[in-house]
Amino acid sequence: MNFWFQQVRIENEILMHLRATKKLGAEVYLNEPIGKDKDDNVVTLQEVLENNERNIEEEVDVKMKIKLLYEKMKELLKDREKTILELRFGLGGYKPKTQNEIAKMMGISRSYVSRIETKAIDKLAKEIKE
């Protein structure tokens, strides 16, 4: 009997050890290497997380440019031009569509969609540069 109890105790110790190491296997440390960059330098998770954060100035700048773009679209573009840009690039809640899809929706040729798109982008670019 004493041998049987010892065997059960050992089995329980092994199970507890396996459970404990299984939990540790899921842990990730910020300073552990996760790979190498193109120059063969070790990269850590912390470095990746630090590089992906935009600073507040960049965030504000992007939002201001988006707001300006929408204002200029309303101000400069004809309805058809605005609609084509919204559909093409997924603006205003639309999903991005191909020129062919837009052409079928509007009952015009794909090349005409392309010309309207190019003209509208040129108008916006010229106005925003000034």
Rounded to the nearest angstrom, the gap between the alpha carbon of residue 79 and the centroid of all alpha carbons in its chain is 30
CATH architecture of 56-129: Orthogonal Bundle (1.10)
pLDDT band at 109 (very low <50, low <70, confident <90, very high): very high
Residue 43 has φ and ψ, to the nearest 5°, of -115, 135
> The dihedral of CA 20, 22, 28, 33: what is its sign?
positive
124 CB neighbour count, 10 Å cutoff: 19
| Structural domain spans, the chain | 2-51, 56-129
15-61 tens-digit pLDDT: 676 666 665 555 666 677 777 777 777 777 677 666 555 667 777 88
Sequence-ordered list of residues with C-beta below 8 angstroms from that of 62, at least 6 positions apart, any chain: 54
